Amino acid sequence: MSSPSDGFVRTHPEIADALAEGRPVVGLETAVLTHGLPRTGRATPDCLRPDGRIAGLLGDDVRWDDGAPLNLQAVSLVSQAVRQANAVPAVIAMIDGVLRIGLDDDELAALALDESARKASNRDFAALSVSGASAGTTVAASMHACGLAAPEPIRVFATGGIGGVHRGWTERPDVSADLRALGSEPVVVVASGAKVILDLPATLEMLDTLGVPVIGYRTDALPIFTVGLSEELEVPHRLDSADAIADACRRHWGEFAQSSGMLVANPCPAEEAIDPHRMDVLVDAGLAEAAAQGIDGSGVTPFLLGSMIADAEVDPVSANLALLIANASLAGEIANAWSTDRSV
């Protein structure tokens, strides 16, 4: 196990103290910061309206600067949602070749503006460390980092949506490392299901093959990122409280000695979800344009987001921000419930 001051893996003192004292901690990824959301400013997203549910998850101090980088403000609000839920946010990234579990505000701001920052999966740690690179961490990378935290591992992690089995996988077997991480890293991941560009039935089947419990939070249907709930796919299990989810985690890793992670599927808030039929049209058109331009792999998601932002009929940024905040808040609740009994 690493110590807070290990050379290539460092746990921020606030995170290390919280873990040592058994206080709730939530891991957060940074690929959304470096590659998921624009660095430009924008008007206040609809989801932050004062009378809305999302603003209520942030407490009394909801700030938005139309001219500040959107990506940085989004991650800051996600961290705020974790703190509002009485947990400590552990923002994970690679900075100058060092895997950092917890960042200061200045470090986070620098990474948000660093256009040379890479996107790191867990396979990339060693090479990026040797080259002294900075990078945002994917779900897979962040889950592994949670296990490297010191003096105790982080057990709860929040993100927007997981990667999975890509469309056309029968011709090109493109499967996200997120699924393998979920099958092997003992972390509970709170996400709004899988990203809409994926082959969702194949992704759900792969999670089953890998032995990953998929738990719908107050839903029987599979959440599909920004479009709400699937009309065809069901989740294997449903639990309706953070306490029940934390108890399931204890039994999964404790009494039943399982080693996989757990996926808690939390639907995008209904008032912010994008119409699924309009989304299908946009995704199909965006994928066709990406293919025509030779864009593939990790470049597809930001390309699609950019094309959707240009469409006047949808607001993917508001939907993304809403689900990120909602997932962080729920993760904070689960971390609180988990910290009451650290028997595993």
CA distances from 343 to 114, 180, 340 (A): 41, 26, 9
- The structural architecture, per CATH, of the domain 9-339 is 3-Layer(aba) Sandwich (3.40)
Q: Is residue 336 scored above 80 in pLDDT? A: yes
Average pLDDT (166-182) is 86
Q: In terms of pLDDT, which residue wins out, 49 or 288?
A: 49
Residue 1: its pLDDT value, please? 43
Question: Which ranges of 210-275 would DSSP assign to H, the alpha helix?
Answer: 242-253
Q: Which residue in 29, 185, 272, 333 is the catalytic one?
A: 29
Active site residue 231: no
What are 251-277's pLDDT values in tens digits?
Answer: 999 999 999 999 999 999 998 988 877
> Taking residues 224-241, what's their average pLDDT?
92
Is 195 part of the annotated catalytic residue set?
yes
pLDDT higher than threshold 70 for residue 341: no
Listed residue (111, 139, 155, 140) closest to 18, CA to CA: 155
What are the sequence ranges of the domains in the chain? 9-339
- Name residue, tokens 């639907």: 267
- Tell me the pLDDT of the chain averaged across its residues: 91
Enter the pTM of the model: 0.92
Q: Give the separation between CA 183 and CA 261, rounded to whole angstroms.
A: 6
Q: Are 39 and 32 in contact (CB under 8 A)?
A: no
Q: Among 43-47, 58-62, 173-177, 340-344, which stretch is predicted with the lowest mean pLDDT?
A: 340-344
DSSP for 32-95?
IIIIIS-SS--SPPGGG-TTSHHHHTT-S-----TTS-HHHHHHHHHHHHHHHTT-EEEEEEEE
For range 318-339, the mean pLDDT? 96
Quick: pLDDT tens for 59-74.
988 999 999 999 999 9
Residue 2 pLDDT > 60: no
Helix or strand holding residue 123 (H, E): none
pLDDT of residue 342: 59
d(CA 159, CA 328): 7
Model confidence over 282-316: pLDDT tens digits?
777 777 777 788 877 666 666 766 666 665 566 78
| Catalytic pick among 119, 185, 195, 272 | 195
